[in-house]
Amino acid sequence: RKEVEQDPGPFNVPEGATVAFNCTYSNSASQSFFWYRQDCRKEPKLLMSVYSSGNEDGRFTAQLNRASQYISLLIRDSKLSDSATYLCVVPWGGGYNKLIFGAGTRLAVHP
């Protein structure tokens, strides 16, 4: 089993749609989780941190289910500018900040 798994997509949605991405992880000891956004040929940028059961920031909601080792990201009212790859990230602990990235889910929002 991969350490962090995501549906690669692509998700093609119209503007205004609601879209959800799923992520599963194998390290049950992880205490924090992150979603990063990466535009084509650019660096990953932190979108949201999740330390408890979930987090909400405007149109973005992240949910965490520790029992199932599952994280989700919900985007409401999609904008064209949301088109990007979304990376699920889990710190691996062990005394250093090794971040394990999923391969990413690609989102394309069209008019």
Q: Are strands 54-57 and 33-38 parallel, antiparallel or unpaired?
A: unpaired
Q: Does 110 bind other proteins (CB under 8 A)?
A: no
Alpha helices in 9-104 (DSSP H): none
Rounded CA-CA distance 23/28 in Å is 14
19 or 104: CB nearest other proteins: 104
Q: Are 89 and 23 in contact (CB under 8 A)?
A: no
Residue numbers 46-85 binding other proteins by CB under 8 A: 46, 49
Q: Which of 21, 37, 44, 73 binds other proteins (CB under 8 A)?
A: 44
Rounded CA-CA distance 103/111 in Å is 26
57 or 77: CB nearest other proteins: 57
Q: Does 97 bind other proteins (CB under 8 A)?
A: yes
Q: Does 34 bind other proteins (CB under 8 A)?
A: yes
Q: Does 93 bind other proteins (CB under 8 A)?
A: yes
In sequence order, the β-bridge partners of residue 57 are 60
Burial (0-12, 13-18, 19+ Cβ within 10 Å), 104: buried
Q: Which of 59, 76, 79, 98 binds other proteins (CB under 8 A)?
A: 98
What residue ranges bind other proteins (CB under 8 A)? 4, 30-32, 34, 41-46, 49, 87, 91-104
